[in-house]
Structure 1
């Protein structure tokens, strides 16, 4: 489906300019997050930027022509390259993970607050968190999310990035947006970058922590039964909440932010001289490819010269 409307040409051009500006911001933010070690958020930002740009280029009605079309097609190639690079490394970590705990919760059981379940894994070593939560359409879902965030604020003194991926509420999209935007502002006051995006038909719930833990739970964050009395234990302390029957698996792999993801170290903010822009990144990649080609040509010439000299010496 096109992300541009079906209005007049002038309106569509205005929409296109705005969307391209958003794509630039997403990619720039992704690069900065990658350089600061928040590779989980960086990966999802690259993915969002790539999907937006691909949707524009796949729309035959888009007004991109000539050099502008060539430039953004070139950018898409690099967006996909960065995303695939991180995706391969993240996938490599996850496939080598080992299960460290498995928790079985019976129907109506209590004593399973987020702190009791996950507190030992959410520590000061966590800098970056990526949450896939399909259900955020009801008030009880939002309360669970806020309670989980409260535990993060208490436990993770060094967390700087939290990224949420969820489904859009089809019935009350404006209410959902207002709540999530309010969470963004609240987290910003605590020096935490909270961001979110919507993904169509998201089904699998999981939480990735930058210290290498992966949390899988069939109910996502919503393991608690919502029908509790308003003025009874469980209102604030989730240890008193009755739970649904659930199974939670905790997996451990190598930390996601161990420095091995900074494969474009030359452009790190502490060493680069020019501002971090899409154009500078593209120019850098062009320069790197030209340099590699020149180096290969030089090595080939040296090799051919050595062969000729060797042949002459034998004669």
Structure 2
């Protein structure tokens, strides 16, 4: 079995299981391979082979676009099921307390996080805490896609910290891909259909003062917060793509 066939089998397996984030990535990689291979001399000289490549490319483009459309439709869901309002200086607002109801259970296999800012050490501390919480609550989680914006001050340090985060998740058998793009509003999307919009993203905690309890001992539950609004909507599940 060559590399392309292996990718196709993996993509179809993920697709059939409703793991659309990973399937979309695999279809994208397959298309890259097929486009590259279709331009080699042996294929260009063989009309039948070239036509076969074109048909496969069209098929994977259509499937990739269908998945992308389904994910966008879920992401835009306005079927709001809960609002959470955090007042300035509120405590007892750890990720587990406020999001645990929606991010839990063996049904969660994939997660998309769109975060406007991941630059400072405190940004990454909060991201680490969030992913630790997700790993505890979602034992079957296998794939995370993180979309954020490139640092305007120190991209090298940002890349190093993102890679450290990716490696930590990999040790838990969770693959994470990182994409840089403009992020208008922070958002969490999971394959069960929940869409969580947080106006401050993961960073609604106030800086800890030097006299506060250890974060390692108590997480962020005892940290004072900035005023934040969290909206939870419920859209279609990833598996609903087959309906």
Tell me the TM-score normalised to structure 1 length.
Answer: 0.61
Larger radius of gyration: 1
Could you tell me which of 157, 162, 178 is aligned with 2:160?
178
Shift of 1:188: 1.6
Q: CA RMSD in A?
A: 3.3
CA distance in 2, matches of 1:107, 1:215: 20
Q: 1:73, 1:139 → 2: CA distance?
A: 47
Structure 1 gaps of 5+ residues are: 1-20, 58-63, 262-315
Give the CA deviation at 1:209: 0.9
Change in 2 beyond 3 A, CA 1:235/1:215: same
Match of 1:164 in 2: 146
Which stretches in structure 2 are left out of the alignment for 5+ residues? Answer: 45-49
Contact 1:130–1:209, Cα closer than 8 Å, also in 2: yes
3-state SS, counterpart of residue 178 of structure 2:
strand
1:166–1:32 distance in 2 versus 1, CA, 3 Å: farther
Q: Do residues 121 (structure 1) and 94 (structure 2) align?
A: no
CA contact (8 A) 1:30 1:41 kept: yes
Matched, 1:87 2:71: no
Question: How much does 1:113 deviate?
Answer: 0.8
Q: Which residue of 1 aligns with 2:47?
A: none
Quote the offset at 1:144 in angstroms: 0.8
**Contact preservation (8 Å) 2:108, 2:192:** yes
1:169-203: per-residue Cα shift (whole Å, max 9, x none)?
Answer: 2322121112222222221221111221111x222
Q: What is the alpha-carbon distance in structure 2 between the residues aligned to residue 203 and residue 111 of structure 1?
A: 28
Greater relative CO (CA pairs within 8 A, separation 6+): 2
Q: Kindly state the Cα deviation for residue 83 of structure 1 after the two structures are TM-superposed.
A: 2.6
Q: What CA distance in whole angstroms lies between the structure 2 residues aligned with 1:103 and 1:193?
A: 30
User: Residue 94 and residue 194 in structure 1: after superposition, are their counterparts in 2 closer, same or farther (change >3 A)?
Assistant: closer
Q: CA–CA distance in 2 between the matches of 1:134 and 1:29?
A: 31
Are 1:228 and 2:190 matched, yes or no? no
Task: Indicate the SS of the match to 2:129.
Answer: helix
The answer to whether the Cα contact below 8 Å between 1:133 and 1:166 also exists between their aligned partners in 2 is yes
Residues 90, 256 of structure 1: 8 Å contact kept: yes
Q: How many residues align?
A: 228
Partner of 1:214: 195
Change (3 A) 1:28 1:135: farther
Superposed displacement of residue 140, structure 1: 0.9
Structure 1 contact 99–251 (Cα < 8 Å) conserved:
yes
